[in-house]
Chain A
Amino acid sequence: MAAPEDSDNLNGTGQDAAFETTPGMQLLDQFEGSKLLPNIMHFGRILRSTGMPVGPGKILDAVSAVEAVGITSRRDFYWSLHAVFVNRRDQHEIFDQAFHIFWRDPRLLERMLGILMPEIPGEEQGEQQEPPSRRIMEAMSPKEQEGQQEQEEKEPEVEVEATLTASANELLQKMDFEDMSAEEITAAKAAISRMRLSIDEIPMRRFQRSHRINRIDMRATLRAAMRSGGALIPLQYRRRRKQTPPLVILCDISGSMGRYTRMLLHFMHAITNDRDRVHTFLFGTRLTNVTRHLRQKDVDVALECCNDMVEDWSGGTRIGESLKDFNRFWGRRVLGQGAVMILISDGLDRDAGRGLEVEMDRLHKSCRRLVWLNPLLRFDGFEPKSQGIRAILPYVDEFRPVHNLESLTELVEALNRQLSRRQEGMGEWLQAM
């Protein structure tokens, strides 16, 4: 095993200071003379810089794991570190590559990271380099803002569509959220404040205290009885706790949806931060899970993250393929516990609905309720003619427009309604098929 002289790196940033406290010192003493401990620390830091959650605690664990197994074979060493550092299956690849590069030549990976990521140094520096955001610029020039407010007042009915005057260019190019002006954001926020989904709560198998006569809570009753020395036994009650089911949103971000995507992202951000157990996916030609990014409290940061993550903005749509990916890799992980699923798409499919029916059927069977939001439905003469739409319609429980505030208000009402059976909300649409 190569043992580099890299004492400089070890005294680096503040986080490493944790190792200089007592437990770290003890370990250092045990490994005195050997370069293994610094190397494991260094390896841990490399993993951390690739985005794996490796904290000081993990590195201490790794050292004790290696100590327990002993360094007899490379394979055992590999799997010992693996058991400590890898927490999820998808981290395996990163670990594997890092391990093989690092434990051959620890310096190599560092050099490679240096080449690949030249802009990573200190945060302050980074902020200086970035141009100030447009919103800040607008905020700095009050005159312009006043003008905008006047404009807004002239338009009392803020339709979602009105705020989204999309240019033809936008459909082709990668969308830049930074260019969203303060005016648009204010309008969007106003709209979004009403776009809250309060899907009907379902009873859980857990209980909470109740003041009405209900099931008797024996434990509380006894404790109450003890308070009076057992002379009186006042009955205490409990009832089932209620909880909103998990919500999964699958949103189409292809070119044909371009005018709505930005609005819908704000909508999804609001919902994701409003309640727990929300999972969000975007798809065009392929599926991207953006749940973690949308959890960012600041909507700009969240959308910026999404923008970086997704590579198929405003391209074609392959609904069937994307749903297949979802069913295969995510369906069983996020659709448990009676999830409600919202599919946002116009149903216009580049693959002309090939393979879509099977996947829709699977999706419909895996969730408690499947709601399809389609902006095309705003046209009065909408007829389910496209192949994609015909393939989706038989498998949804609810089919609703999503193009302005009114339709969204209706959506919230519709979702609050308790339906006794599936597809009850479909009515004429199924007949139209």
Chain B
Amino acid sequence: MSEKLPGSIDDTMDLLSEGRYVADRSLATALYLALKLGRPLFLEGEAGVGKTEIAKVLSETLGRKLIRLQCYEGLDVSSAVYEWNYSRQMIDIRIAEAAGEEDRDRLEEDVFSDRFLIKRPLLQALELDINGNPPVLLIDELDRTDEPFEAFLLEILSDFQVTIPETGTVKAEKPPIVIVTSNRTREIHDAIKRRCFYYWVDYPDSARELEILAVKAPDADKELSRQIVAFVQRLRSMDLFKLPGVAETIDWTNALVQLDKIDLDPQTVNDTLGTLLKYQDDIEKVKGSEAANLLEQVKADLAARG
């Protein structure tokens, strides 16, 4: 486990493959820049292309703590940054009262001290771990939250600090590694993107996808993997509402391995299509003759290539 940050793009590639992540050199470049220059990396792309995975791999290979903030609509400061422990504060006030504490300023200082502060992901991310390393902060699916929260993130992403009105400003000693992901269900404001390095994670090409399968589903038969990749790649060129991502390819392969398949046949494809396509309309469109047709083409292609 290398705990040092990579020193070049090649190192970054090695780091990712160490974490069993097959990446394009372009992604490694963006990631290396983000690590080297201490800026967040903004990953955008369709669902299931491995955006979240990068943060997990980084935390694993660099030996850093992973702090994950899953975004949702209405995400607010009390669940993302910090909250006061109200019941303990109440008790504290009562005790002070019983003890005849008169000094209001001291009481206030006491009640709003670190003891009563419940730290949520963003505040945790500003702290170093036991080894003195900053954590990996994953802000997942930022597009799910609303604009007010986005605006709040600006301070954290540019200066790595949070202002708590009662106590003051908390600033990270060393900035965390920040990965922001978005499925693009809405456009994220430019102000956020400007503070980050941007990368669009696309669907991989056949060769790359085959490589991914070899790493992620090593039990699958080589010939079966080739058929699967060719089939999925063809599906992606079809006019579907939701194209299958890499995650779906891996799921499908695992499903087929569980079913002890070493060769794709129309019946199996029809039965397992649900792991690949997630919309009823899409399944309707592909099921039956279309799937058989695709499979025939795939097999003919593979046979022609030998």
Contact = CB atoms under 8 A, between A and B. Distances in A.
23 contacts: A68-B37, A69-B29, A69-B33, A76-B9, A79-B26, A79-B29, A80-B29, A82-B30, A83-B33, A83-B34, A83-B198, A83-B199, A84-B33, A204-B74, A205-B74, A206-B74, A206-B76, A221-B86, A226-B107, A226-B111, A230-B97, A328-B241, A332-B184
Contacts of B89: 222
Contacts of A417: none
A69 B197 CA distance: 14
A231 B97 contact: yes
B241 A65 contact: no
A327 B241 CA distance: 8
Interface in B65-114: 73-74, 76, 78, 84, 86, 89-90, 93-94, 96-97, 102, 104, 107-108, 111-112
**Count class of interface residues, chain A:** 35 or more
Instruction: With a 10 A CB-CB cut-off, give which of B148, B193, B198, B200 has the most chain A CB atoms.
Output: B198
B222 interface: no
Interface string A82-108: 111011110010000000000000000
B40 to A, nearest CB: 12
Contacts of A336: 143, 185-186
B107 A230 contact: yes
Given A79-B29, A80-B33, A82-B26, A362 B241 contact: yes
A87 B111 contact: no
Interface in B37-79: 37, 44, 73-74, 76, 78
Interface of A: 53, 57-58, 64-65, 68-69, 75-76, 79-80, 82-84, 86-89, 92, 204-207, 218-219, 221-223, 225-226, 229-231, 233, 327-328, 332-334, 336-337, 358, 362
B36 interface: yes
A53 B198 CA distance: 14
Nearest to A79: B29
B88 to A, nearest CB: 11
Given A87-B190, A231-B97, 12 more contacts: A69-B33, A79-B25, A83-B197, A84-B197, A87-B193, A87-B194, A204-B74, A205-B76, A207-B76, A222-B89, A233-B90, A362-B241
B25 A75 contact: yes
Interface residues of B, number: 46
A65 B93 contact: no
Instruction: With a 10 A CB-CB cut-off, give which of A83, A230, A233, A327 has the most chain B CB atoms.
Output: A83
Nearest to B84: A219
B93 A225 contact: yes
Contacts of A58: 194
B205 interface: no
A219 B112 CA distance: 11
B107 A79 contact: no
Closest 4 CB pairs of A and B: A205-B74, A79-B29, A230-B93, A229-B104
B195 to A, nearest CB: 10
B91 to A, nearest CB: 11
B260 interface: no
B86 A219 contact: yes
A80 B36 CA distance: 12
A230 B96 contact: yes
A303 B142 CA distance: 33
B32 interface: yes
B106 to A, nearest CB: 10
A204 B185 CA distance: 18
